Chains A and B, each alone.
Chain A
Amino acid sequence: MIGRRLLGGLGNTVRDYVESLGYATRTFFTMLGLSGGLLRRPRLIVEQLHFIGNYSLLIITLSGLFVGMVLGLQGYYTLNKYGASESLGLLVALGLTRELGPVITALLFAGRAGTSLTAEIGLMKAGEQLSAMEMMAVNPIQRVLAPRFWAGVVAVPLLASVFSAVGIFGGYLVGVKLIGVDAGAFWSQMQSGVDLWKDVFNGFVKSVVFGIAITFIALYQGYEARPTPEDVAGATTRSVVISSLMIWWLDFMLTALMFSR
């Protein structure tokens, strides 16, 4: 009897997960389908872009600067053992444009903006604002989710570019100004080794994918939170945990696709 109950419970759990995945996919496509109306009201996107883009700029810039400076120091330490300290610029630029820029930006964005999106929408739901919208024949997916989603998709790649650019500047500060690597070699090695399409563009594609994933996970967790204080808190935690795991998994898949050749 106990075995049957365990098996039934397991089946139920799996079924719940699969069902919520399907529901999330349906919500995603509903949101995409309803996004056309945003073209008539671009102000909604601009407001959200200000909220999640501009306010994330400071933490992204500072993190990028420090990550670049640390890469400069650590890279120099290792490269110098092989007498290849001139390649420092290449190491910093490749590391940032291919991996660290998109990934760390995505993680920071999940923490800085994703949580606030989840909490905001969760509280809207708890305060029955979403139900009120529905009563007024305003679709909350179109009015609340879609503008935030597109703002996130636009903001993350731009933030990742800022992160990489500032990071390269940080690497330059430490490598050239502090340690004394030749400035000409720093830039020329970087330029000869970093390819516009293979490295810069693929990194950009990564950050677009991360932007789609994080923003949608954050929105969905808020939208599907039960309207209680506990579950809004839980949804905020889930938003960060699922986003972070998703970022690592997507990063591995995309890296394998893009750079394995």
Chain B
Amino acid sequence: MQRKSLDVWVGLFIVIGVAALMFLALKAGNNSSFSLAKTYEITAKFDNIGSLRPQAAVKASGVVVGRVAEIAFDDKSYKAAVTLEMDSTYKFPKDSSAKILTSGLLGEQYIGIEAGGDEKNLSAGDKIARTQSAAVLEDLINQFIYSKAAEGKDSN
């Protein structure tokens, strides 16, 4: 087939377009919902998850070790059942605890895992027994007001 200078320009156009798409995919975006890394699922029940959302990070010592896969309400225990997808390169003791934390004052909520002391590790399908709910702003304000009121009584 005869080649023309036209082909060069059209080829250049395609290369520029695909390069832009690659830039968007690799530099601007992240790949949170599509990951080839092996994971194992564990569950945790919380009294209150605040505004935790699926795809939120699971962190240990600030390092991302997993993602929140699913959030459901368990009408047997009246608690929120959260399924965590943990990166299988990281293992945690069976008596580890999970907390719902907030990054910054108004930032996104994530789950923080603190390692326990058990010799056995969490495996797929296990449940984290010790959990701490999200800090709800109204509760914090209530606690603050009560403690202030209690201080006032003491000084009288």
Q: How many residue pairs bridge A and B at CB < 8 Å?
A: 88
CB within 8 Å of A: which of B16-39? 16-21, 23-25, 27-34
Q: From the candidates B13, B16, B29, name the one contacting A199 in the complex (CB within 8 A).
A: B29
CA distance A140 to B6 in the complex (A): 24
CB distance from B64 to the nearest CB of A (A): 10
Q: Which residues of B contact A49 (CB under 8 A)?
A: 10, 13-14
Interface-central residue, B18, B21, B29, by most chain A CB under 10 Å: B29
Q: Does chain B have a CB within 8 A of A194? A: yes
Nearest B-chain residue to A48, judged by Cβ: B10
CB distance from A95 to the nearest CB of B (A): 12
B interface residues, how many (CB within 8 angstroms): 25
Chain A: interface residue count, which band?
Answer: 20 to 34
Nearest A-chain residue to B55, judged by Cβ: A195
Q: Residue-by-residue, is A154-188 near B (CB-CB < 8 Å gives 1, otherwise 0)?
A: 01011101101110100000000000000000010
Check A196–B10 contact: CB distance below 8 A.
Answer: no
- Interface of A: prevailing SS: helix
CA distance A197 to B19 in the complex (A): 17
CA distance A114 to B156 in the complex (A): 81
Check A166–B20 contact: CB distance below 8 A.
Answer: yes
Using A49-B13, A158-B13, A159-B17 as known contacts, say yes or no to A196 and B25 having CB atoms under 8 A apart: yes
CB distance from B109 to the nearest CB of A (A): 14
Check A198–B10 contact: CB distance below 8 A.
Answer: no
Using A46-B6, A50-B10 as known contacts, say yes or no to A196 and B16 having CB atoms under 8 A apart: no
Check A46–B7 contact: CB distance below 8 A.
Answer: yes
Q: Does chain B have a CB within 8 A of A54? A: yes
Check A161–B30 contact: CB distance below 8 A.
Answer: no
Check B33–A194 contact: CB distance below 8 A.
Answer: no
Chain B residues packing against A (C-beta within 8 Å): 6-7, 9-10, 12-14, 16-21, 23-25, 27-34, 55
21 contacts across the A-B interface (CB closer than 8 A) = A46-B6, A46-B7, A49-B10, A50-B6, A50-B9, A53-B10, A158-B20, A159-B17, A161-B17, A161-B24, A162-B20, A166-B20, A168-B24, A187-B27, A192-B30, A195-B30, A195-B33, A196-B30, A196-B32, A196-B34, A197-B34
Which A-B residue pairs are the 9 nearest by beta carbons? A158-B17, A165-B20, A161-B20, A161-B21, A196-B29, A162-B20, A194-B29, A200-B29, A165-B23
Chain A residues packing against B (C-beta within 8 Å): 46-47, 49-50, 53-54, 57, 93, 97, 155, 157-159, 161-162, 164-166, 168, 187, 190-192, 194-200, 204
